[in-house]
């Protein structure tokens, strides 16, 4: 929205309809009280400010928040990342079946265990809870044995692992194995992780998708999501996964790994 506001101040024409879509709802409802417009060409309007105080409030809202609290004051705490994140971790040193917690901040990390050389990041909570089966699946997919003695298991759902501080923490592992859903969201998460971690990151998937095709049961929300998944799979070099998408027209959620 900042770009639109700056152009309005400079008297430059903008796509006013696109600008309205970016306005907070209270401003959108009353936009005729705040702005006057003159169409100068197709999809371009010169905008005149009618209410300077409302415009100043918009400028304040458009500025990037400096903290989560600042973002909350501006009406949406999600506009700013959290200063601290909590990760559930299974590791070799656990005294019970309950996972440990890693506290990761932008400037400090608090963990009460020694990290293994590798880590398996699991997107789904149920799959994370059944980490022995996920380690077994990953071992078969990667062609090498993985167990808690050499591989921690982290819950990374909800795009949690794509946060900058967590990505920096993951760099401390020699290898990062990503067990995400086989859909557009999972591939986008891995693409972000791989962009930060490079060759350390590996997407966990079967070497042969043919026996798994009957587990592709999730119908994509839209054609765009399906197309995005295809393009991401191809861009990442996952040719066989792209072929599985085409063959089924569906996605596979990682819960299906547990359906044996």
Q: What is the per-residue pLDDT across 232-259, written as a single tens digit (0 to 9) for each?
A: 999 999 999 999 999 999 999 999 998 7
Over residues 187-206, the pLDDT tens digits come to 999 998 999 899 999 999 99
Q: Which CATH number fits domain 84-258: 3.40.1360.10, 3.40.1400.10, 1.10.10.10, 3.40.50.1820?
A: 3.40.1360.10
pLDDT one-digit tens code per residue, 14-69: 999 999 988 888 888 899 999 999 999 888 999 999 988 888 888 888 774 444 44
How do the domains of the chain map onto residue ranges?
Answer: 2-79, 84-258
d(CA 40, CA 45) in angstroms, rounded, equals: 6
pTM, entire model: 0.69
N residues, the chain:
260
pLDDT in tens, 58-106: 888 877 444 444 444 434 433 334 578 899 999 999 988 899 999 998 7
């Amino acid at each position: 929205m900042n770009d639109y506001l700056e152009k309005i101040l400079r008297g430059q024409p903008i796509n006013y309809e696109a600008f309205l879509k970016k306005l907070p709802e209270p401003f959108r409802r009353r936009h005729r009280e705040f702005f006057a417009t003159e169409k100068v060409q197709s999809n371009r309007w010169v905008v005149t400010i009618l209410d300077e105080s409302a415009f100043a409030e918009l400028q304040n809202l458009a500025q990037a928040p400096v903290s989560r609290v600042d973002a909350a004051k501006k009406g949406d705490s999600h506009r700013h990342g959290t200063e601290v994140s909590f990760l559930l971790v299974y590791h070799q040193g656990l005294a019970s079946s309950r996972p440990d917690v890693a506290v990761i901040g932008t400037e400090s990390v608090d963990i009460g265990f020694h990290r293994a050389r590798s880590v398996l990041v699991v997107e789904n909570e149920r799959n994370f809870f059944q980490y022995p089966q996920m380690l077994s699946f990953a071992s078969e997919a990667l062609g090498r044995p993985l167990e808690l003695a050499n591989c921690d298991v982290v819950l990374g759902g909800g795009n949690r692992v794509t946060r900058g501080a967590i990505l920096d923490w993951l760099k401390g592992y020699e290898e990062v194995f990503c067990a995400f859903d086989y859909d557009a969201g999972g591939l986008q998460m891995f693409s972000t992780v791989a962009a930060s971690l490079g060759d350390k990151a590996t997407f966990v998937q079967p070497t042969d998708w043919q026996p798994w095709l009957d587990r592709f049961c999730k119908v994509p929300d839209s054609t765009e999501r399906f197309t995005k998944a295809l393009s991401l799979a191809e861009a990442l070099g996952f040719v066989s996964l792209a072929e599985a998408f085409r063959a089924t027209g569906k996605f596979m959620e990682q819960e299906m790994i547990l359906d044996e």
